[in-house]
Amino acid sequence: MSFDEICSICSLPKDICRCQELAKSEQRIKVHTERRKWGREVTLVSGIDSREISLSELVTKLKNKLACGGSAKDGVILLMGDHRHRLREVLAELGFPSDNIDIS
Ligand SMILES: [Zn+2]
């Protein structure tokens, strides 16, 4: 088994470790949109602790579910377009409690 498959927090194999699930329930997520200078709207998802949650994995899942482009940088996920109306549901599907998601 490679090092990558062992959780660094609890030392259990990642497929049975619950640390990510536990961490997800503790995130306070903020969602808002911004209009960038080229006139396109982007949705920013912040407040997720990137030491606990893999943002690159999360952004890949969000891009698939929302069928949009996006990236993760400096602890903030950026999605192309306005996805506020769907993000609560999509993040809840991924294990983030919808009560902890603040959409403005
Ligand atoms: Zn663990």
pLDDT tens digit sequence for 67-104: 999 999 999 999 999 999 999 999 999 999 999 999 99
Q: Ligand 1 centre and the CA of 5: distance in Å?
A: 10
Examine residue 33 and state whether it is found in any structural domain, yes or no: yes
More confident residue, 4 or 62: 62
pLDDT exceeds cutoff 60 at 4: yes
Examine residue 2 and state whether it is found in any structural domain, yes or no: no
Reported as a pLDDT band with limits 50, 70 and 90, residue 1 is: low
Examine residue 69 and state whether it is found in any structural domain, yes or no: yes
Neighbours of ion ligand 1 (CB under 5 A): 7, 9-10, 17, 19
Examine residue 55 and state whether it is found in any structural domain, yes or no: yes
Examine residue 6 and state whether it is found in any structural domain, yes or no: no
Q: List the one residue out of 76, 16, 91 whose CA is nearest residue 46.
A: 76
Reported as a pLDDT band with limits 50, 70 and 90, residue 35 is: very high
Span 26-46, average pLDDT: 95
What are the counts of helices (DSSP H) followed by strands (DSSP E) for the chain? 3, 5
Q: Ligand 1 centre and the CA of 6: distance in Å?
A: 8
Q: Tokens 């069928």 belong to which residue?
A: 67
Instruction: Say which amino acid occupies 55.
Output: L
Span 18-41, average pLDDT: 92
Query: Which tokens hold the place of 91?
Result: 């993040």
Examine residue 59 and state whether it is found in any structural domain, yes or no: yes
Could you give the number of structural domains in the chain?
Answer: 1
DSSP H or E segment with residue 100: none
The Cα 68–Cα 95 span in angstroms is 20
